[in-house]
Structure formats: C-alpha cells, structure tokens
Structure 1
Amino acid sequence: MIAVRRQCSRCVSSDLGVPTCLARVGGSLGCSLSSDHDNVSPGRRCCSNGLCGGSIRGARTPTTSLGCRASLMKTRGFATSDREGLDLASMSNVRRPDQEVGIADPLESTSPVYSEADVEEVCVLLLRPEDWDSTREALEKCNVSFTSELVVEVIRRCKCRSGAALRFFDWVGKRDGYGHSLETYNMAMKIAGGAKDFERMRSLFYEMRRKGCSITPHTWTIMIMQYGRTGLTDIALGIFEEMKASGCEPSGSTYKYLIISLCGRKGRKVDEAVKLFRQMMKSKYVPDKEFVEIYLGCLCESDKLSDARKCVNFLREVGFSTALSYSLYIRALCRAGNLEEAQKLLNNAGAEREMLNKYVYGSIVHGLLRKGNLEAALSKVDEMKQAGVSPSVHVYTSLAVHYLKEKEIEKAEEVLETMKREGCEPTIVTYSALIRGYVGAGKVGDAWSVFNQMKSEGPSPDFRTYSMFMNCLCRIGRSEEALGLISEMLGDKIVPSSVNFRTVFYGLNREGKHDLARLVWQQKLDLAKQRKSMT
C-alpha cells in the first residue's frame, strides 16, 4: 500500500486555470456560436423592502411599508480565476452579486464589536449536554453584556446545536434593554432552515415583520436558498414570486441561489432556471465562476445546448475571456458525456486550438475515461506531455479512479506514486477514491490505513469521505466498523445525516446485530432531539 502525504493546496490546480494571455484568444472561437440572446439595456435598479401586498403562505399584509433601496455599485473589475484579470471599464451598469449592499454576511463585512471571551463563555454553556433549564439558569448568572453582534456570533458558532442556539435566541430577545437586529434574525433563520425546521424559519420572518424590522433581499434569499437546497424548489419559486410581489427586487445572490437550486438533482426545473437566467441577464448581474459551472453543467446534462451557447455569449459580453468561457462550456459537455460536441467546439477554434486545448485536456481525459476509452485517454495525456503541459491533479485522479473501478489496484497506486513524484499532491477526492477501491478489492486494512493517515496528516476526511466509507463497509458486511465512523464524525464535529444512520442501521440488522442496530437508532433520535428541540 502506498504512503500518503499531506495535501499542499498550492499544488492542486484545476485544468480550467486560464492565464491572462488567453484573454486574447478570440475570433474564430466566437464565430462558432450565434449571438441570439436577448438584448439587455442598462438601467437603474431599485428595491423596496417593504412587504406591500406580498406574503408567505397566507401571512397578513403589514400595515407599515418599510422602504429600502439596494445601493448600486459600479463594477471595477471581475477576476474570473486566481490568475486572470478582466477589464470592465466599459461596463459601468453591470453588477456582481457580491458588490451589492446587504448581500454579504454582516460578520464578513464588519470588524468584531464583542469580547471573544464572552462569546466563548456563552458557547460553552449552550454546547454542554445539559437540559435547557440548567443552561438558562447559568446564562442568567453569567456577567455578559449581550449585544446583537455577540448574539449573531454565538448562534453562528452553535449552529450544530440548532435547538440550543434558537432557544438562546428566544431567551436573549426577552431581556430588558436588548432588541434583536436584522442580522440576528437573518442568522437565526439560516440556522432554522439549515436544520430543516421551515416552520420555525417562517415564524421568525413573521416576527421580524411584526416588530417593524426591515425585510431586505438578503432575508428573502435566505428562505429561498434553504428551501431550494433541500429540493423544495416549488416552494422556493413561490417565495421568489412573493418577494417580487411585495415590492422587494431580487438581488444577484437571489438569482444565483435560486437558479443553483433549480439546477440541482433534487427538484430540478431546467426551464425555470433558463427563464430566471434570462431575467438575471436583463438585470445586468454578472454570475461568478461557481454559478456558471453549475448552470452550464445542468444545461449540458439536459441537452439544452442552444441555451448553453447563449450563456457563453453572455459571459463574453460581460467580461469573461473567450478562453475561460469556452473552457467552462467544454468542461460541462465532457462531464455530461457529450465528447462529440466538445471536440467539435475545439475543432472550430482554428489557430487558437492548440492554446485552448492545454486548458481543457483534463476534462477531455476525464470524459474519455468515463466512456471507457482508456487508450484514447492515455494518448491524450502523452500528447499533452510532449507539448510541455504537465498533467493536473484532475487528470491523475481520473486515471486512478478508472483503474480502481477496473480492480487494477497496482496501476492505481503507480499513478499516485507518479503523481507525487512529479510534485502534484493528491486531494481528498483522490484519497477517497483510493479508499473505495481498496474496499472493493477486499483490502479493508489498506483502506483504513489511508483513512487514518488522512486524519493524522491531511487532507482531513469530509462528510462525503465518511459517508462513502460507511456505505462501502456496510455493503461488504462490516457495519460494526461503519458504526465506529459515526462516532468519529461526531468527534470531528461533522454531523451525520439521516441517511448515514439508516445505512448503518440496516447493515447491522442484515448482519444479525440487532442490539447494535437499536443503539444506532437511539443515537439518531438523540441527535435529532438535540438539534431540533424547541422551547
């Protein structure tokens, strides 16, 4: 079994990293797409944050309309990657979501105005395994000056214990001389929605309105995002419409998170996503790279290539370089298995093909391997090496995953050794694939060795790594070892999901270990009570 080393983040580079020189690539690439998207006109945008006329699921219309306007900020520059700068001097009316007032988390835009010792003292009380009555008594005795900034930080740090965090929120809100702010309400709504307690999230919204607290686009976006992330996209769309009906205009972040939700596996609604993206274009919001990757990926998977081409044209108009725009598109095509269209796009690149090819070959290799065409993939790797381009971590990981799926463990280990020898450190995805491959080959001891070395040396296992390892162990009849992973997750402050508990529960029952299965189910219930219990 090969030795693993600590991940060096600087060595992990994407095949989509496009240097500034590629911004000059144009001409023949641009000719391959038709510019037939809707024309957009610059204009000033306003936002009224009152809820005049709109409501969430039957809430009464407020008697007072609280006005607000979203401040417009001119885009000074939009870096689409760590190494590429773009000149947007002629785009004074184009806006980025993160340049709008009220979009960023208040904690990220202001310096702390609370005592760190006070925050830690309150957090210790909330996170200890005692009943609420004892915790409340301790809170009343502590000598802490409660401010809205301190409350936001406390409940943010205690979000893993949503029940305790929200009880504290209610308790502190009743203290004399203290009043919740917009920021504390928004954070509490995030925590309630993150725990899937949507009834509580909505009640906080109604409470904000009753107390005359300004309802901003950020508040609406929190609700839309929390519903959307769980696949409840019909509800998210309904809230979006109510937001507009209330007179509060969607922000760039509102569009971003709603469209991302509509592009997800759960609750996918591609036509609605396309419609909203067009609205976003007309509103002069510039999407970020993360959003573009998700949106293009969804379009390519759904075979909506005409809409994907319109998106690429829009990106080029708002300042993305031609190379980066097409790299994102080609990557999406490859991931969707449409290598023919990706190759056709490259063939139309003309004289610039060789330069562009260097930055998309990782995606091409990955796509070929997913199709099972190992020979063509290796040929592509050799071709790029001869051109002086070193394989990226993406390429090496794709090769390793292919060999592991084919049960060719030794070849996968050779890939990883070559990878490290050339100074390209494996990522958490690489190591997770190795663990899966070892378990599949019956080398469970080697899988545990890799997992333990990840914990001690890094990169640390994340939720996906734990979940994958549990599934693999339960599948081969070693559910008791998977049970130990649940305890390790909690020790690493990673909250197991209901699926994790069910996987281990059913695995233990299949193996006849019914007492342990009941213990797992009790752990699940106890954790649910800790997270969701309310006053």
Structure 2
Amino acid sequence: MQNTLTSIKLHHSTINHIFLFHIPSCYCLRSPTTDNAINSARCYTSRFNSTDVDERNPKTKEEEETHKTELHLSKRLDTLIDTSITRATAALHKPGEKGTSFRVSCNDASTSLSNAEKVYKIVMKYYNKTDMLEMALDRCGFSLTPGLVVQVLKQCGSAANPAYNFFIWAGKQDHYMHTHESYNVIINVLCRMNQFERVWAILDEMRTRDPSLITPHTFIIMVRRFAAAKMVRKAIDVLDEMPKFGVEADAHLFGCLLDALCKHNKVREALALFSDMKFRFEPNVKNYTILLNGLCKEGMLEEARFLMGEMLGVGFDPDIAAYNTLLHGYARAGRIQEAFDFLDEMKNKGCVPNIISYTSLVHALCEAERLDEARRLFQDMRKYGCFPDVVSYTALISGLCKWGKLDEAYKVLDEMVQQGCAPNQMTYSVLLRQHEKREELQEALELVEEMLESGCDPDLGIYNTLLRLSCNLGQLNEAVEIWHKMEREGISADLHTYTVFIHGLLKHNNLTDACTYYKEMVGKGLVPAPQYGTLKVLLNELLRAGKLDMAAEIWECMKKGGSHINIFAYTIWIQALCQIGEVKEAAAYCADMIDDGLLPQSSTYQMIKKGLKKLHNRIIGDQIRGRLRKMIDERNLIFKSYEKEGVRKEGARKSRKGRRKRNLK
C-alpha cells in the first residue's frame, strides 16, 4: 500500500537530487552542547510550538501607509511608558557584573565596524553552505571579540539561519566565549522567526555553562516575541518556566508582559491577566498606564475612562503619560472635540500638556482633513511653550501628503530644516509614499539622494517602498539595482522585503527569479510559518505555466528548509495540483500529510476522491480512504460525517462558482 503512493512521486526524484545544492544545510550546524540541549528542549517545544501563528497576507499600500503613520505617532506616545521599563531593564545587568569568568574581555569598544561588515557579508554569502562558511570565517583573520559577534548578529536582522550559523561557529572558537549580550541577541533573532525550539536549547546551554548568564531580560525578549506571534498562552506560560532556569518573575517583567500583550492587540487578555495576578504582582502606575494604552488602541475609550477612575480609587495619581494616552485615544478615534475637552480637563487638574499632547491633536485634525485648524494649532503650540520637534513636523507633513498636498508638505519640510530640526527616516518615508501613490519613481529616487546628502541614511522601510514602486511600474532592473544597493549598505532584507520583491517578479511573469528569491528567503529562515498568500500565488503561477517541477522544488525546499508545514500549506499545494489534473501527485502528498499526523480538510479529500474516480483508479483511492478512516477513528470522529462535510463544502463551492459565472454574463 505504501509503495504505490510513494512510487507516484518517483519521476521528481531526479530533479530533486539535481537541485539538492539549493537546500540549506545550515540546520545541521550545532555545537555539541546545543545538540544535547535540543533533545532536552523538546519537552518545552511540545507546548511552545508555532502552530498558532497568525499568518497575514501582505498589506495593501493604503493599509501600510495608515498603519505606519499611526505606529510612529503611537510609538512616540509610548516613550514615556517605556522609559522606566528600559531603565529598569538596564539595571538588571550592569556592565562588568558578569563576564569576569570569560576568557575574552567584554570591553571591546575598539572593534571596527568595517570588520563586522566584512564578516556579515561572508555570513550572508555562504549562509546555505556550511563548510564554505566555516572555511571563509576561519580564514578571515579577525580577532573575535564579543562586540564583533554582537554587531554581526544584529546586522543579520531577521535572517535567523545565517545568524544562528555564525553564532555556533563563534562559540567553537578558541579564546572566545559568548557573553550574556550575544546570547540575548541570538535569542531575539530566533524568536523573531518563531524558532523557539532553538531558543529553549540555547537556554539549556546557558544554564549548563553558567546559570548567571540567564537574566530576566532574556525572558522579556521571549515574552515580547511570543506576544508578537499572537501566542498569548505561551507568553503567559513563560512566567512559570522561569524558575526552572533559576530566575524568578518580578513586577518589572510582569509589566513587560502586559505591555507586549497590549501592543499586539490582546488587551482583553492583558486585563484578565492583570486581574488574576494582582495578589502576586502589586499594581503600579505603569501597569495602569500600559492597560490604558491598550484599551485606547482598541478604541475602548469608555473602558479606559473607567480604568482611570479605578486607578484614582486605589490611590494612584495619573501622570502625564496616562493623560496623554487617553488624549491620544480620543484623537485616534476621531472624537476631536472630546479630545480638546480632555485637554482642558488636564489643565484644570494641574497636568500641563506637552509636545506629545499637541502632536496627537495635530495628527487627529489632519486625519479629519481639517488642515487649516491643524496648521493653526501647530503654530499656537509655541505660545504654550511647546516647540515642534521631528515627530510634530512629521505628523503635519503626513497629513498634508494624505490629502494630496505634496507641494505644501515640501514647504513644511523646508521650514523644518530652517528651524534646525533635522528630518528623520519617517519624515522622508511619508513623502516617499506619496511619490509611490503618484507612481513617480524618478522623484522618489531623487528624494532618497537628498536624504543621503542631509546625512540621514535610508532604512529598510525606505528600500521596501522603492522596491515596491519599481516592481509595480515594471522597472525590474531598477528593482534589482535597489536590492543590490541595499545589500551593499549592509541592510538585511526581511520577510516583507522578500514578499514585496517576489510578488513584483510574479506580477511581471519572472517565475525563475521569483523561485530563486523564495528559496533564498526560506534558506535564511525568514519563513517561520509559510506565508500562505505568497506561497499560494507562487505555486499557482508555476502550475499555470506548466512548471510542475519548479513548484515541487519550492515545496521540497520548504520542507527541508525548516519551515513549519501545517494543514493550510498542504491544502494549498494539494488543491493546486488537483486543479491542473495532477491528482495522483496530490494523492501522494495527501499521504505525506497523513504521515505527518495532519488530518486533511474534508473538501481536500473530496477533490482527490473525485479526481481519482475520473481516472478509474480505485487502488490509490482506497489507500487514502483507509488511512483517513484510521486517523479519524483514532481521534474519535465519525468518518461518514467527515465525508458528508466535504460533499457539502464542494457543493457550496460549485454554487458560488455558478453565481460568479451568471454575474459575468
């Protein structure tokens, strides 16, 4: 039975072997200690797996513009909340407290940035060729210091696999030992890509080598990353895992957990946790302010006012951060008059508004297209002793750009420079996105040149915008040049960069390069779970073009490259094969799916069943049916109900398809 299904895919085996050199081999690079640690870490990853990651398709340009503008303004508002957190975090480990047992001094300020850039380029060049990577690094001749290692790891950005390979190589070198800082940086990189199994293994290694290397800040990183991945339960469970590593959760870490949940739209969970943990962690002003911020971001302003009342009731006086949080909440919700009323309330209670207060109102007026009022308030701020800063200017420029007043926005930029306020990357990004809307590539490139002349280096967001604009206009040669320039500047492409570029290549039918960059993205560990939008588009385009072998390579690359293949990824691949008539192939992958312990969707099974029936192939159909029945029985489900559900969904799908055809007529 197994042999029949396996033989179906044999005609691809030769191709897979030919392209084997494309598959990243970096996953086998581990230190002996980490090898042992990974085995013991599996008890943690059984609970801390990444199956509940929230995948999202790439945002539209309009959604991204709104999101980035709001994010930047909110980030400034959050500064007062985060300041105390940052200071407390820094106090957890003062320089020099640890590291006395290391063979290399932690004082490596003399480490040259150029050396870090050279090492980074080597790491990115050979990221999927382990032997060549180690050989090139061994021959580079640099004196390895903790500072150099940290710089290289940070430069890797979200490229988890290259960073991990370099980290392991560095740990094997004589006269060098990792510091708590290098451990924390690699943990941050791995968590960002949801490689939590490796993280728990590294924690085990740290505990074995020197438990004092593990600090509360290490777990703060994990808490924030779990929250970012929408793994709320796992973020909370970190509190219970900490004692196993000799670290006790404190009020500061609890505040960081609340902050992480609120920042990632999990304010209800944060409120429930705050209520449950009141007796374990004594509430403070920061906790209340964090929760206020979370409620306001969700538009729950009445709940926020109630919470502020509760805060006063237990004896805590709101500070300027708390007041600004609620003020910004009203402004963000478009309740401008209430925002101005609250500003007066602040003054009456003796809380003097600051630049953040007025910036929130300027931004709200701009969003409501009340530009004259926004300009007037912008000028009046000075009367109240609040002089515009880069965030205030950027808020006004953003508002002008939103409503198509690009010339006026440039006038504000000139005024900003004349007043001695240097524009930052966000300021230029706002203007750049307006050129993107107008499809003005040349003007966008000139703006970036002006940006460089002013001493402001483009960041990844700027390059992403240029890439997206170039691809949308079909200027693929320009896009490639922008990509190479970004790499020369030492900026590492992230998941969004690859997604933008791959979609641009597919839009203009450049399938070969799209596959190359997708494999590179997987090889760098930038796909914590398949990005289903990109994967689906790529596979469908390949199969539509009759490139079945290339599509199979993409699938095998993902499986061997460490991507988390779950039921949705299998469904995309199997249904795509069925739609082009490759039913036997689809049946073979369905068998793989069952072997991986995943139950196919009932509609997927019906597609395969129907296709095999047309081919009069009952043998394979019976095999799939037998395997499914066994899995369903083991899960105490009813097979007939499973089959009927699939028939119902197939009927609904046909009905929708019929309606679409009638509408077209």
TM-score tier (shorter):
0.5 to 0.7
Q: Which residue of 2 aligns with 1:198?
A: 196
1:23-66 deviation per Cα after TM superposition (whole angstroms, max 9, x unaligned): xxxxxxxxxxxxxxxxxxxxxxxxxxxxxxxx73459xxxxxxx
Distance 1:480-1:505 versus aligned 2 partners, 3 A rule: farther
Q: Which residue of 2 aligns with 1:250?
A: 249
Of residues 511, 521, 526, the one that matches 2:520 is 526
Paired amino acid for 1:260: D
State how far apart, in whole Å, the 2-side matches of 1:480 and 1:133 are: 33
State how far apart, in whole Å, the 1-side matches of 2:162 and 2:441 are: 39
Q: Which residue of 2 aligns with 1:166?
A: 164
| TM-score (norm. length: structure 2) | 0.54
Contact 2:190 2:198 in 1 (8 A): yes
State how far apart, in whole Å, the 1-side matches of 2:192 and 2:97 are: 19
Q: Secondary structure at the match of 2:211?
A: coil
Distance 1:108-1:230 versus aligned 2 partners, 3 A rule: farther
1:264-319 deviation per Cα after TM superposition (whole angstroms, max 9, x unaligned): 34xx311222244564897358677xx98875443113233466454698599999
> Residues 322-341 of structure 1 correspond to what in structure 2 (within 5 A)?
322-341=319-338
Shift of 1:367: 0.7
Find out whether 1:298 has 2:297 as its counterpart. Answer: no
Q: Secondary structure at the match of 1:218?
A: helix
Distance 1:283-1:456 versus aligned 2 partners, 3 A rule: same
Q: Which residue of 2 aligns with 1:441?
A: 438
Of residues 458, 465, 468, the one that matches 2:465 is 468
Q: Which residue of 1 aligns with 2:604?
A: none
State how far apart, in whole Å, the 1-side matches of 2:358 and 2:120 are: 51
1:136-164 deviation per Cα after TM superposition (whole angstroms, max 9, x unaligned): 346667888878x5786476456456434
Contact 1:163 1:530 in 2 (8 A): yes
State how far apart, in whole Å, the 1-side matches of 2:109 and 2:396 are: 51
Of residues 357, 361, 386, the one that matches 2:358 is 361
Shift of 1:246: 7.6
Distance 1:164-1:372 versus aligned 2 partners, 3 A rule: closer
Q: Secondary structure at the match of 1:348?
A: helix
Of residues 403, 411, 415, the one that matches 2:412 is 415
Of residues 403, 407, 411, the one that matches 1:406 is 403
Distance 1:354-1:272 versus aligned 2 partners, 3 A rule: closer
Percent pairwise identity:
24
Shift of 1:434: 1.5
Contact 1:436 1:472 in 2 (8 A): no
State how far apart, in whole Å, the 1-side matches of 2:132 and 2:144 are: 19
Q: Secondary structure at the match of 1:360?
A: helix
Find out whether 1:487 has 2:481 as its counterpart. Answer: no
**Structure with bigger RCO (C-alpha 8 Å, 6+ apart):** 1
Paired amino acid for 2:299: D
1:76-110 deviation per Cα after TM superposition (whole angstroms, max 9, x unaligned): xxxx9999xx9xxxxxxxx9664468745868998
Of residues 506, 509, 512, the one that matches 1:509 is 506
Paired amino acid for 1:298: G
Of residues 331, 340, 344, the one that matches 2:341 is 344
Contact 1:296 1:308 in 2 (8 A): yes
Q: Secondary structure at the match of 2:187?
A: helix
Structure 1 regions of 5+ residues with no counterpart? 1-54, 60-79, 87-94
Task: Decide which moves more: 244-253 or 339-348.
Answer: 244-253
Contact 2:436 2:465 in 1 (8 A): no
Q: Which residue of 2 aligns with 1:217?
A: 216
State how far apart, in whole Å, the 1-side matches of 2:45 and 2:524 are: 28
Higher normalized helix content (fraction of residues) = 2
| TM-score (norm. length: structure 1) | 0.66
Find out whether 1:56 has 2:35 as its counterpart. Answer: no
RMSD: 4.7
Paired amino acid for 1:56: Y
Task: Decide which moves more: 369-378 or 525-534.
Answer: 525-534
Q: Which residue of 1 aligns with 2:591?
A: none
Contact 1:404 1:434 in 2 (8 A): yes
Distance 1:281-1:361 versus aligned 2 partners, 3 A rule: farther
Paired amino acid for 2:359: G
Contact 1:155 1:187 in 2 (8 A): no
Size of the aligned set, in residue pairs, is: 443
Paired amino acid for 1:206: D
Shift of 1:450: 0.7
State how far apart, in whole Å, the 2-side matches of 1:262 and 1:133 are: 41
Shift of 1:440: 2.4
Shift of 1:454: 1.2
Q: Secondary structure at the match of 1:299?
A: helix
Of residues 447, 451, 455, the one that matches 2:448 is 451
State how far apart, in whole Å, the 2-side matches of 1:210 and 1:342 are: 54
Of residues 271, 274, 282, the one that matches 1:274 is 271
Contact 1:173 1:180 in 2 (8 A): yes
Q: Which has the larger radius of gyration?
A: 2
Distance 1:82-1:305 versus aligned 2 partners, 3 A rule: closer
Contact 2:156 2:492 in 1 (8 A): no
Q: Secondary structure at the match of 1:522?
A: helix
State how far apart, in whole Å, the 1-side matches of 2:374 and 2:255 are: 35
> Residues 6-155 of structure 1 correspond to what in structure 2 (within 5 A)?
56-57=44-45, 98-99=87-88, 103-104=92-93, 112-113=106-107, 116=110, 124=118, 127-128=121-122, 129-130=125-126, 131-137=129-135, 149=146, 153=150
State how far apart, in whole Å, the 2-side matches of 1:143 and 1:280 are: 55
State how far apart, in whole Å, the 1-side matches of 2:402 and 2:175 are: 63
Paired amino acid for 1:224: V
Q: Secondary structure at the match of 1:263?
A: helix
Q: Which residue of 2 aligns with 1:74?
A: none
Task: Decide which moves more: 277-286 or 188-197.
Answer: 277-286
